[in-house]
Amino acid sequence: MPARILDGTRIAADIKAEVAAEVSRLAQQPVQPGLAAVLVGNDPGSEIYVRNKVKTCRELGLYSEELRLPESVSTSGLLRIIDDLNSRNEIDGILIQLPLPKHVDAQRVLLSVDPAKDVDGFHPMNVGYLSTGRPGLVPCTPAGIIEILTRSQIPIQGTEAVVVGRSDIVGKPTAMLLLNANATVTVCHSKTRDLAGVCRRADIVVAAIGRPGMITRDFVKPGATVVDVGINRVSDASTFQRLFAGNAKREETFRTKGSVVAGDVHPEVAEVAGAMTPVPGGVGPLTIAMLMSNTLKAAKLRRGM
């Protein structure tokens, strides 16, 4: 029996509806959670991401600001802008759209964001809160992964989970969230010996490595849940054939656009997994939904609500 597909688009819509309802309730206080998105330069991908985030804020009733800065902005100039946002009470969340230009000290900029307004959950203080189980702001994609599992009634407590990838943005915080939910967690990476063997032990596999189709059926225990975080653009014909040969819809897309989006998990995994997230339509939609949820959470935490 093919794997149950976990519909991230539907779960994201549910979370957005819950956020909108809570924002409407807070308006009686009156409190309106606010998000400031800082965009440096003219990267087309970044512009689309920021536009979508600002648009979603408006749809859900959150206040939003988009600060567009020239590519030439200096580190000190950017720090002054963030300092101003830190001091403004109507701004509950500050989002610095990455990547920043090479001449900007990105680490220093991210550290300058008030941890109480760090809706990306990257500040060391929020990382510390997560690792010690205290209330704080959690990175959006890992938080979305947990929402997909819990809202799909997939048990976490007592399971064995393997996270493939150890990035600060996805791998490590996802492992910590699973650990906090009482899973037994193994974090794998490029130096892991017998990666397939380690993954085969898992009840839950989270693939976050950025390599298209690397997790094949040999990595997956029958009936396991597989969460695919990868978003890889495949334009190489041989890679496309390895992943999608015989998939008429994908073949048409590849023929007309010259590329397709693929996850880190090979489609054949659906033949052995019990449940899995698709790409697209799995983890991706949760990221913006959890950003909205984090902005609401920041507004309430800052006001002691």
Rounded Cα distance between 149 and 204, Å, is 9
CB-based burial, 16-30: b 16+ in 10 Å, e otherwise: beebbebbeebeeee
Rounded Cα distance between 243 and 264, Å, is 10
Q: Among the options 16, 53, 117, 172, which is catalytic?
A: 53
What residues contact residue 227 under an 8 Å CB cut-off, 6+ apart?
Answer: 6, 145, 148, 149, 204, 205, 206, 207, 276, 277, 282, 283
Count of beta carbons in the 10 Å neighbourhood of residue 65: 16
Helix/strand/coil (H, E, C) string of 34-52? EEEEEEECCCHHHHHHHHH
Is residue 97 annotated as part of the catalytic site, yes or no? yes
Helix H or strand E encompassing 260: strand 260-262
Token pair belonging to 210: 């950025």
Place of tokens 């490029």: 190
Token pair belonging to 303: 């006001």
Is residue 29 annotated as part of the catalytic site, yes or no? no
Q: Among the options 92, 97, 172, 297, which is catalytic?
A: 97
Q: Among the options 120, 203, 228, 264, which is catalytic?
A: 120
Place of tokens 């995994």: 269
CA distances from 189 to 165, 219, 225 (A): 5, 14, 19
Is residue 53 annotated as part of the catalytic site, yes or no? yes
Of residues 73, 74, 94, the one with CA closest to residue 85: 94
Active site residues: 53, 97, 120
